[in-house]
Amino acid sequence: MSNSPLPLRFLQSAAKEAQLPESVRELALVGRSNVGKSSLLNALANRKNLARTSKSPGATKLINVFELESAPRHWLVDLPGYGYAKVSPNERKRWQAMIEGYLTGREQLVGVILLIDGEVGPTALDLQTQEWLTHIGLPIIYVATKHDKIKSSRLKTRKRDLTAKLGQAKGVSWVSASKGTGMAELRRRILVELLEH
């Protein structure tokens, strides 16, 4: 079961936390606009078009809910990315309020999968987000994306630097959505968090 694709289905989008129905347990995906959240969701489910991907950052504009078909009301929730998206200041403020409202107001939320771009390492915004999530008491699962984009000669150094900046000596999972690297382990971790409690 652990290496099988996650049986995810798109449930709904919402502009704020109050529009979401009741659930049992939720995990949220958080990360920069171009970190590859939608690609990761598609890879976890082994489906090309479960989540919308885009060449330009900022394709996700709402709270998008994906449900485990095998366990109704157990959700993976994709939030808009922070950082690079080319949107108006007003739209950015609306996104921020929506994301913060969800992360602070959702009782069923058991943790956050914080995606870090493995190629560039944690940015100031990533570290700020990490600090804020810790401050509000949300457990963090650290995932470094784009493993396949890093030259093998630089991988060891890159891994060491990234974990040092995050202060997570052994707690970072490295994945590649396109190559499938690390997907089995991440699927297992998600199922444990959502189902085994």
Q: What is the pLDDT of residues 24-77, one digit of tens each?
A: 999 999 999 889 888 999 999 999 889 876 544 445 578 999 999 999 999 999
Give the confidence band of 165 by pLDDT, cuts at 50, 70, 90.
very high
Determine the straight-line distance between the first and last CA of the chain, rounded to whole angstroms. Answer: 18
Write down the pLDDT at residue 53.
61
Task: Give the separation between CA 98 and CA 6, rounded to whole angstroms.
Answer: 27
Written as one letter, the residue type at 105 is G
Per-residue pLDDT, averaged over 6-23, amounts to 93
Write down the pLDDT at residue 1.
43
Fold of 8-195: Rossmann fold (3.40.50)
Count of CA atoms in the C-beta half-sphere (13 A) of 23: 27
Give the confidence band of 22 by pLDDT, cuts at 50, 70, 90.
very high
In this predicted structure, the answer to whether residue 194 has a pLDDT above a threshold of 80 is: yes
Write down the pLDDT at residue 197.
67
pTM above 0.75, yes or no: yes
Q: What is the pLDDT of residues 138-149, one digit of tens each?
A: 999 999 999 999
Write down the pLDDT at residue 196.
82
Task: Give the separation between CA 27 and CA 17, rounded to whole angstroms.
Answer: 14
> In the structure encoding, which two tokens stand for residue 125, read together?
């915004």
Check: CB of residue 95 under 8 Å from CB of residue 125. no
Q: Please tell me the chain's helix, strand, coil percentages from 3-state DSSP, rounded to the nearest 5.
A: 35, 25, 40
| Packing angle, helices 152-166 and 124-135, rounded to 10 | 40
Written as one letter, the residue type at 107 is E
Domain ranges of the chain: 8-195
Q: What is the pLDDT of residues 82-140, one digit of tens each?
A: 875 567 788 778 878 889 999 999 999 999 999 999 999 999 999 999 999 999 999 99
